[in-house]
Structure 1
Amino acid sequence: MACTMYALSKCYFGLNLNLMCKPSEVEYTIMPNMEYFEFLPFEPSATDLFDLSDVEIDKEYELIVTSYAGLCRYRVGDFLRVTGFNDAAPQFCFVRRKNVLLKIKSDKTNEAELQNTIENTSLLLKEFNTNIVKYTNYVDTKQISGHYVIYWELLAKNSGNTPTDGVLNQCCLQMEESLNSVYRQSRVADNSIGALKIRVVQNDTFEELKDYTISRVPR
């Protein structure tokens, strides 16, 4: 399912005008009459803000919004890639959240890179008719060397033919080979990063965790 709109609780940004597209192809069209939008280029030294009409196709920007509700140049924290224009309104796809990183030393693995790595690795599970339903991750630095830990919730269509430990070890190696060069350098050359680990959790673990978290919210 693809969401019909892109929004915050305080304001609306864009609409999905092609509801029948694949989720991976979703793009949103900015609604210029809703708020005042500005864009900060995804560059380390960028300080100049761009208006709607000045953004360029295939470039990434951080969205900044000034709203009727009182937000003033609020940095949303989302990075967007401009995919085209609908009349004069830019269309974009969501790329990743800002500062969502796995980091041990000089390595920096962002959300988009991790997602692509997991998608590539999931191909090893196809012969077992198994899909990765949900995942999460964290960096374990309690021991030397620190390492990435990835939690997978899997859906096996044939319970009698599930991925073996050997296959999961291959998945770990595939993920490491798919990560950036800085990670691989630290992992192989100086061993400052330990071996990546995949932990398979029971079905519905993420739903149970969500329900538990909600139950602890004061009412």
Structure 2
Amino acid sequence: MKNPLDYTGKVALVTGAASGMGLAAAQAFADAGAAVVLADYRVDVVEAEAEKLRAAGHKALGVACDVSDDSQVAAAVERTVAEFGRLDAAFNNAGVMAKIAHTAESTRQEWDRVTGVNLGGVWSCLKYELQQMEKQGSGAIVNNASVGALTGNPGIPSYIASKHGVTGLTRTAALEYVKKGIRVNAINPGLIDTDIGRAVVEGDEEAYQEMEKHVPMGRAGRPEEIA
């Protein structure tokens, strides 16, 4: 799908860029003319994907970034600015799915793991992205929440809570920085055909197909449809 936006001369940072919606967004930014930084803890994957983009004539860089580590997020933003001079757009997409367990059976370890990436990671990304964009006086950030941020879903309490948190954090940051020329928004995708989307049913293909039946268009969305 051709991106109708022109990002020529702009610089974009995408987290969770090794696969799924993150990789699709990185490709869309590149196709629109942006220099794009692909950030993911799977650094070998994003370096390879960045090389593919460069081979196609785009400006791209792959960087290591575990968003649950504040110092790695800071380093990713610093590397972006060092390489390309600024940061105009960011897609805070990195996330993990919770292991299936009802609230009373869930563990503190799992709670910390999921919220650390899904909510803490978005907070860290916003913190350092906003610092840079405030210096520039402009920028746009999109956080990847979930349809789960609008409702509840039994069996994945840490995931649902983390995504509700992303929505609240997005609204707060949007109000804080709107007068400084920076826009902060969130998207709430439903079932998308990604590793995380399939992790909900832990590899059960029949269960996945059953989930697709509840999607109005009869199938899971595709990553490029979100990008």
TM-score (norm 1): 0.25
Relative contact order higher in (CA < 8 Å, ≥ 6 apart): 2
| Structure holding more helix per residue | 2
| Structure showing greater Rg | 1
| Structure holding more strand per residue | 1
